């Protein structure tokens, strides 16, 4: 069974205090922090890049617990030329490099490049992209990301009609980490968890909450309960 991973998106954090914001999330038992890198070309917005990742890594050093990397930086690269930035993100201290399928002509070669730089490799698809494109890649990936909003801006409404993509991925690849990103919070986590998502990106619902730790716990509990229900469900006779 895949592990539940909660990854608050620092796109919704206080940019004047990012190091402390990251430490706060990890102290509240977030597993990762999700770092949205936008270049103003692939998406119509411009956000943080490798220099910010590098500064954050100095403020939030990696650790290790039970054989797992702590203070994990999940870098979501919404960029037009993802190949260009792999060495820079690796050097800056990223842990996982998520590229968009729509942004590259050779995803297999890009996965190989990412892994050659010591990063975990993940591939994202936009809402208008068929989930089928991920099937030939899945065995090579550490994670697949199904966008539940159009990439580029935080605070958008969750697109529940993306859940069949998650269900299809989970049915074909039961051990794959499947991430959902966009509009996740208490009101929407249930349908995502039931579909089989285990890596949850949440921005404004966490950073904008009066009690962010309670929201993180709620997200985690919902996903874990859905996994238990799925495991207990009788398997059909084939």
Say which range, 62-66, 89-93, 147-151, 175-179, has the weakest mean pLDDT. 62-66
Q: 117 among the known binding-site residues?
A: no
Compare 237 and 197 and report the one with higher pLDDT. 197
* Rounded Cα–Cα distance for residues 1 and 223 (Å): 12
Residue 238 lies in a domain: no
Q: 23 among the known binding-site residues?
A: no
Residue 105 lies in a domain: yes
pLDDT tens digits, one per residue of 16-46: 999 999 999 999 999 999 999 999 899 988 8
Q: Is the pLDDT assigned to residue 234 strictly greater than 80?
A: no
Q: Are the C-beta atoms of 125 and 104 separated by less than 8 Å? A: no
Instruction: Just list the catalytic residues.
Output: 36, 181
Query: Rounded mean pLDDT of the chain?
Result: 95
Residue 237 lies in a domain: no
Q: Which of 90, 106, 85, 69 lies closest to 37 in space, CA to CA?
A: 85
Q: 9 among the known binding-site residues?
A: yes
Q: Residue 168 belongs to a domain with what CATH number?
A: 3.20.20.70
Q: 63 among the known binding-site residues?
A: no
pLDDT at 152: 81
pLDDT-derived band at 102, boundaries 50, 70, 90: very high
Domain that holds residue 138: 5-232
This prediction's pTM: 0.95
Q: Are the C-beta atoms of 146 and 131 separated by less than 8 Å? A: yes
Query: Could you give the number of structural domains in the chain?
Result: 1
């Amino acid at each position: 069974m895949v592990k539940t991973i909660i990854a608050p998106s620092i796109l919704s954090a206080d940019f004047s205090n990012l190091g402390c914001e990251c430490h706060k999330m990890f102290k509240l038992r977030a597993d990762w922090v999700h770092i949205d890198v936008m270049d103003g070309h692939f998406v119509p917005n411009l956000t943080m890049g490798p220099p910010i990742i590098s500064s954050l890594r100095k403020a939030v050093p990696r650790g290790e617990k039970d054989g797992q990397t702590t203070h994990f930086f999940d870098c979501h690269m919404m960029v037009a030329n993802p190949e260009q930035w792999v060495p820079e993100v690796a050097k800056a201290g990223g842990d996982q490099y998520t590229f968009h399928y729509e942004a590259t002509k050779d995803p297999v070669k890009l996965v190989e490049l990412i892994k050659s730089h010591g990063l975990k490799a993940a591939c994202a698809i936009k809402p208008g992209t068929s989930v089928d494109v991920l099937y030939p890649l899945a065995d090579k990936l550490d994670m697949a990301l199904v966008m539940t909003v159009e990439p580029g801006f935080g605070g958008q409404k969750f697109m529940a009609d993306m859940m069949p993509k998650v269900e299809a991925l989970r049915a074909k690849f039961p051990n794959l980490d499947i991430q959902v990103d966009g509009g996740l919070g208490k009101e929407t986590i249930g349908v995502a968890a039931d579909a089989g998502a285990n890596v949850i990106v949440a921005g404004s619902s966490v950073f904008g909450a009066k009690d962010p730790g309670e929201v993180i716990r709620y997200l985690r509990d919902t996903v874990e309960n859905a996994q238990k229900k799925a495991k207990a469900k009788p398997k059909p006779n084939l």
